[in-house]
Amino acid sequence: MKFDEKSLRLYAVTDRSWLNGASLEWQVEEALKGGATFVQLREKNLERKSFYREAVSIGKLCREYGVPFVIDDDVELALESGADGVHIGQSDMALRDAREQLGPEKIIGVSARTLEEALEAERNGADYLGVGAVFSTSTKLDAVDVSLETLREICGSVSIPVVAIGGIKADNLPLLSGTGIAGVAVVSAIFAASDIRKAAAELKRLSEEAAGGKAGKVR
């Protein structure tokens, strides 16, 4: 799967909390129709066999739309299901171990909250960074807020693309302009919306505008 900075403009992270009788696959397709450019499948409590089937199904859907698809945390499942890669946190499998298992072609994203974490992830071969939470969020109760100054510093200090995450909605997304982000990762702003496709389209437009202003490189 082709992956570059523009692939990260609107990074959709799944959450089955808002299915309301719909299937996750249907919701993901609505997000893709609205303009999502990247999909991460995140499941914390799903039984393994169901998780695998879901990964295969949504991975196939993403390929049809030409959008990269990664699994949250689970390197083994990413390999088994044919996903394009994984996203790992600071407390998950070490990046070097993940790269050794996945090989050089797979996408690996890493969560970072500090400049030190960001630089270490870049040195160890991360393809992109997820930095946040940039705004308060109810999706991850243990998330630590990252100031816009820190976000800007990280973007200006690394050469790999950075995605802002955490509490991002249509009304606060413009505040990220000029920080140097490649895009935004969103959960509820897409999947809790009454019209997922419309919400994704608006977020994509705003993200394109916010990503236009590049942060100055830190020397």
pLDDT at position 219 is 34
Secondary structure, 3-state, 46-77: CCHHHHHHHHHHHHHHHHHHCCCEEEECCHHH
Catalytic residue among 111, 152, 188, 204: 111
Catalytic residue among 42, 99, 113, 204: 42
Catalytic residue among 140, 157, 169, 177: 140
pLDDT at position 216 is 47
Domain spans, the chain: 5-210
Residue type, 184: V
Asked if 42 is an active-site residue, the reply is yes
Rounded distance, CA 152 to CA 39, Å? 24
CATH architecture of 5-210: Alpha-Beta Barrel (3.20)
User: For the chain, which ranges sit under pLDDT 70?
Assistant: 1, 138-144, 212-219
Report field, pTM of the whole predicted structure over 0.85? yes
Tell me the H-state helices in 82-114.
95-102
Asked if 198 is an active-site residue, the reply is no
Asked if 2 is an active-site residue, the reply is no
